[in-house]
Amino acid sequence: MKSAILKTGAVAATALLASSPAFAAPAADAAATVAADAVGGGTAYIFNTLLFLIGGFLVMWMAAGFAMLEAGLVRAKNTSTQCLKNIGLYAIAGLMFWIIGYNIAYPGFGEDSMGLFGMAGTVYGMQDVGSADLDTGYSVASDWFFQMVFCATTASIVSGTLAERIKIVPFFIFVTILTAVIYPVVVSWEWGGGYLDSVWGFSDFAGSTLVHSTGGWAALVGALILGPRLGRYGANGMVNVFPGTNIPLATLGTFILWLGWFGFNGASQLAMGTVGDVSDVSKIFVNTNMAACGGVVIAIILTQLRYKKADVTMAMNGALAGLVSITAEPLAPTVGQSILIGMIGGAIVVFTVPLLDKFKIDDVVGAIPVHLVAGIWGTLIVAWTGDATFVGQLVGVLLTMVWVSVASGVIWLVLKTTIGLRPSEEIELAGLDIHETGVEAYPGLANQG
């Protein structure tokens, strides 16, 4: 669906230029050159599949980035638990997206359907050994793998926000439902050709809303229901700072995420069988990178001006906010527009983090400003840079908010009233590692914080 929109736009642009006498001959020559350099069906199948696989393992590598970022930003006594959450959620996402999630995300909505909720009629299966259906344009296995790692990314966002005060079992139960149903339904509305795509012309190239805001809404609702960490907020608006254990590790995690984002956005071109597709992937890489650069620089400048010292965690989240902001449309903007989009994303983080503290919403790693708020910004600005209307983009943001917030809220509340979400105060103060995993990541530092 995404690649079809892009290719339609490219054809329209070529036709528009060709209609002008000054550009008729160059446009015709360019179109002929691109057509001549397009590869045949079998070769295109190979290149497209390779793009999905390379993009997929880069996005999978982002799971390591989330794990390192979160492990670096939590206190020593909760590090092992955070690592367990990240490897567990990735595995759960893979299983649930295989069992049911993919079929919900791509149900093949009928003509008379509103495109809100659907379920594919057959169980998803891979091609036979040694076989290939060239009509699909790529291996179905590569497509499933690429889509699955996006699903896992959504769950990673929730993990960071709720760190240090949620038990493993209820967290994994929530991830199971999030990756099996909640996230796939949102995907079906746009990438699956459903309601937002067919009715509103909503556009989300690689998931500012579908992936990042979905995870952000689930995290926000979870944080509201779970409550803040013990001792985080004191009387008279006091905010107690709980420093992360390992800033170098968190910085490494940020760079891993930055690297993985080239697969996240670049491979969302969904095709590499023509000169135009490969050129577009290259431009996506540049725009993605420059948006992150803009986010870092503005975060450093603003924290220096506001706090008289640069904040390294704000700089890291500035990079991630810039990446989230450009994800909804990383191809159409100019480099200058991409930098500006990323800078505003970075500024969003600097101003939203203290706002959350004002309302006593405890977000350990800053995932809500990065993924939710910057995701909304990135989605809405597509009305300026891409082929979408502001109303259509706003409808997509609001529908996602309602569905994810209500569904997540119900699940969190059921878990809270049945098995409970939080450990006892004694366990939380001592640290989750000993009680949840039995392993201290940093022996001797268990009493930190």
Binned at pLDDT 50, 70 and 90, residue 8 comes out as: very low
As separate numbers, helices (DSSP H) first and strands (DSSP E) second, the chain gives 20, 0
**For residue 230, how many other CB atoms are within 10 A of its CB?**
13
Q: How far is CA 252 from CA 55, 244, 259, 392, 442, in A?
A: 20, 14, 11, 37, 18
DSSP secondary structure letters along 354-403: HHHHHTT---SS-HIIIIIIHHHHHHHTHHHHSS--HHHHHHHHHHHHHH
Higher-confidence residue of 448 and 252: namely: 252
Name the one residue in this structure whose structure tokens are 């889509």: 147
Strand partners, 233: 239
Q: What is the DSSP letter of 213?
A: I
Cα 96–Cα 173–Cα 397 angle in degrees, nearest 5: 75
Binned at pLDDT 50, 70 and 90, residue 39 comes out as: confident
Q: Given this structure, which CATH class describes domain 41-107+138-436?
A: mainly alpha
CA distance 9 to 4: 9
For residue 133, what pLDDT is reported? 74
Name the one residue in this structure whose structure tokens are 């930190």: 448
pLDDT tens for each residue of 91-139: 999 999 999 999 999 998 887 788 999 988 765 667 778 777 777 788 9
200: tokens are: 């509103």
Three-state DSSP state, 132: coil
CA distance 396 to 388: 11
CA distance 394 to 2: 19
> Mean pLDDT over residues 38-64, rounded?
92
pLDDT for residue 441 is more than 60: yes
How remote is the C-alpha of 368 from its chain's centroid? 12
In this prediction the pTM is 0.90
- Boundaries of every domain in the chain: 41-107+138-436
CA distance 298 to 122: 49
225 φ, ψ to 5°? -80, -35
